[in-house]
Structures are given as structure tokens and as C-alpha cells.
Amino acid sequence: MIAPLLFSLYFVTMEVSQAIETNKKVSRAGSMIADLITQQQTITSTEVDAVMSIGESILQPYNRSTGKIIVTAIEITDEATPKVQVVWSRKLVNGVASVDAVKGTATTVPPALKIKGTFLIRVESDLEYKPVITWAAQSKPVLGLAAAFDGISMSESYYLRPRMSQSVPCTGC
């Protein structure tokens, strides 16, 4: 009677600790990508894609779902009513890099960061966490708790200012 209770407690404890560690990795990936990009004076789309791939590898060995990483360069104009717009944007989804938002698209930033004439790099890292106790191999039917848990969404956004220049232009983005 006690053994099933102890096994249940063990698996729940294991799952909670893995979820916390995975959430830290999602956060760490976003932070690292933003840090590497803001240290550049200029960058190319190939370099942005490589940095995002490095960030994706941080999520390993967690491989029950793939993450999504979006890097967006944002300009806040010098006008009386500043516009917050995309300068360039790249995303990495399922290992495939591509353009995300089109240049000149309006976007948002937190009010504290909306300072006239500034430039920001925003990195959004997302992962749909699937607990071990609900996960099944691709070819196997999903059973058990999977009906209750479709996945736990984990995401983080980082805003950093360029360190070596006023902006970080991207060639090919």
C-alpha cells in the first residue's frame, strides 16, 4: 500500500525537477542569444542563424519537443510620438531558420524601454514542455495522463541594448 504512494511521489518529484530545469534552459537560451547578438557591431543572417542554433542546443538533452526562437531588432524613432518598429527579424522553428517580421512592422516594447532614438534586440524563446509521464514515442499511441496534459508552455523574452554600437545592422536579414 505504501509502495505505490512512494513511487507516485518519486515520479512527481522527478517530473517537477525536470520541468524546473527545462524552464531554466529556455530562459538561459534566450539570455545567451541576446547577449551574443548585442555584443556585435554588425551581423549577418547566417551568423544570427548560427547563434540561434547554439541556443537551441542548450535545450538538449530535452528532446520531446522542439523550441522556437525569435530574434527581433527594434528601433524606437526620434519623433515626437516615437514609433516602435522592426528593423530586422529572424526565427528558428524545428531547426529551420527564416525571416519572421517584415522590416518596418510596428511592434511593442515594455513602457520602461520605450526611449526615443534607441535600439533594442528582443529574443523570445519558447518550448512546449511535455512531461515524461505523458510522452510517447512518435509511432506509439499516447496514453495515460496525455489526455490531461497537452504540454506546458514555457517562454521567456529578453530585451537588450547593443553594447559596441548604437545599433546592430544585419546583412541578409
Domain spans of the chain, in order of start: 2-127+156-171
The residues, any chain, with a CB within 8 Å of residue 26's CB and separated by 6 or more, are 59, 67, 125, 126, 127, 154, 155, 156
Four-point Cα dihedral 6, 10, 11, 15, nearest 10 = 150
User: How confident is the model over 138-161, as pLDDT tens digits?
Assistant: 555 555 555 455 678 899 999 999
Predicted TM-score (pTM) of this structure:
0.84
Give the cell for residue 112. Answer: 520602461
Q: Please report which confidence band the pLDDT of residue 27 belongs to, taking 50, 70 and 90 as the band edges.
A: very high
